[in-house]
Copies of this chain bind each other. A is one copy, B any other.
Amino acid sequence: MTLKARTVHVVGLGLIGGSIARALSRAGWSVSGEDVDKEAELACLALGYITSKDRATEAELVIVATPAGNTVEVVAEVLASVGPNTVVTDVAGVKNAIVHGMPDERFVGGHPMAGSEVRRLAGSSPDLFMGATWVLTPTPATTPDRYRVVHDAVRDMGANPVAVLPDDHDRLMAVASHVPHLLAGALMTEAADIAQDDSVLLRLTAGGFRDMTRIAAGEPSIWPDVLLENRDAVLATLSSIRTRLSMLEDLLSSGERTSLLTFLDAAAEARRHLPGRAVHASQLSYLRVNIPDEPGVLATITTLAANHSVNLYDIEIAHGVEGVGGTLILAVDQNDSDAYASALRSLKFQVSIS
């Protein structure tokens, strides 16, 4: 932490942008912001969520939180208006096209995995991201310094930054979010169609059905863009789920009780081991990793952490002499430090733990 307040500018002051402004203001950042809706700007000023509505072109960080359909355009426009030391990130739910379409090393893609039923500024909360996963998508062009700026902001909002390559993000989000939304919709419309003749069905829906269809109640308008932008991964996952349902139909038709139980056991086992959402409170270890001054090293190290389910609580770069790399200092849960250090060493990094 520096003594001078850190500076961030938020473009788009709706549910997500408003929550970002509030969370970072509370964490001591100096926050400016803008919105095409001038009433939202004035409300944020009046409520103290932002201190200025003028774009801070020298801010450390600009977070673009406009609707997903505008993100590419707005990010490009912001990159053209800010200086070389400003990092720009976004919050769009599909990352591949935007990250690969924005080959500017000042841009680091992001995706906070939090939302609310209430849209726009009225739904915002400084606690929206507490304990949530916030995906960051560093590329080979991302430097540790720039990554750290976004990482710090995400941590200061109470979220857990997880570094994932853009391709992986989209492929995995198809399973984690996009197809679940369609499954919820398929189940809910199936029930609704039957309930037209048998309205009692709706009274027979207990907790399981309610849990499974809850996300279908969310605002639909954001979804067609997300689904079409991530079309290939969504199609592949839908097809795979259909294959699983066919397999279950075969097991049922042929009365294969044991195979059914094996399937259900595997699902139960996997669900019970889903990692919790809580923030760890255990003590931290610090890993010092010598890094060469070459592209891609930050993305390699941070995505390796994510793949080993290691939270990076803090990330810092101790620069070496220009051109000969430096040392990355990573704060991780002490229970994770040995395994993560081993994984790093297996990739030929020099690592020490303190």
- Footprint of B on A, CB under 8 Å? 113-114, 132-133, 135, 160, 162, 164, 168-169, 172-173, 175-177, 179-192, 194-195, 198-221, 223-225, 227-228, 231, 234-235, 237-242, 244-246, 248-249, 252-253, 255, 257, 260-261, 263-268, 270-272, 274-275, 277, 303, 306-309
Contact = CB atoms under 8 A, between A and B. Distances in A.
A183 B309 CA distance: 26
A168 to B, nearest CB: 7
Nearest to A236: B249
10 contacts: A162-B200, A168-B200, A179-B187, A186-B245, A190-B240, A210-B274, A212-B212, A224-B257, A224-B264, A228-B255
Nearest to A192: B270
A211 B209 contact: no
Contacts of A181: 208, 264
A308 B266 CA distance: 40
Given A199-B308, A242-B242, A274-B210, A260 B223 contact: yes
A217 B307 contact: no
B214 A270 contact: no
B189 A263 contact: yes
Contacts of A198: 168, 172, 307
Given A189-B270, A224-B260, A231-B253, 6 more contacts: A133-B204, A133-B206, A189-B267, A192-B270, A212-B212, A224-B264
A274 B242 contact: no
SS class, residues of chain A in contact with chain B: helix
Contact of A176 (B179, B205, B253): B205
Contacts of A266: 189, 192
Given A202-B309, A203-B309, A274-B205, A227 B186 contact: no
Contact of A200 (B190, B207, B307): B307
Given A211-B211, A264-B223, A206 B248 contact: no
B271 A216 contact: yes
A190 B217 CA distance: 24
A85 B199 CA distance: 34
Contacts of A133: 203-204, 206
A179 to B, nearest CB: 7
Given A180-B208, A188-B267, A274-B205, A246 B242 contact: yes
A133 B203 CA distance: 7
Given A180-B187, A271-B213, A248 B240 contact: no
A214 B211 contact: yes
Contacts of A246: 242
B249 A238 contact: yes
A238 B187 CA distance: 10
Contacts of A212: 180, 183-184, 211-212, 215
A220 B262 CA distance: 9
Contacts of A227: 252, 260
A264 B185 CA distance: 6
Given A175-B194, A245-B242, A252-B228, A184 B208 contact: yes
A235 B238 CA distance: 19
B218 A268 contact: yes
A173 B204 contact: yes
A327 to B, nearest CB: 25
In the A-B complex, the 4 residue pairs with the smallest Cβ-Cβ separation, listed nearest first, are: A220-B264, A192-B270, A185-B267, A208-B215
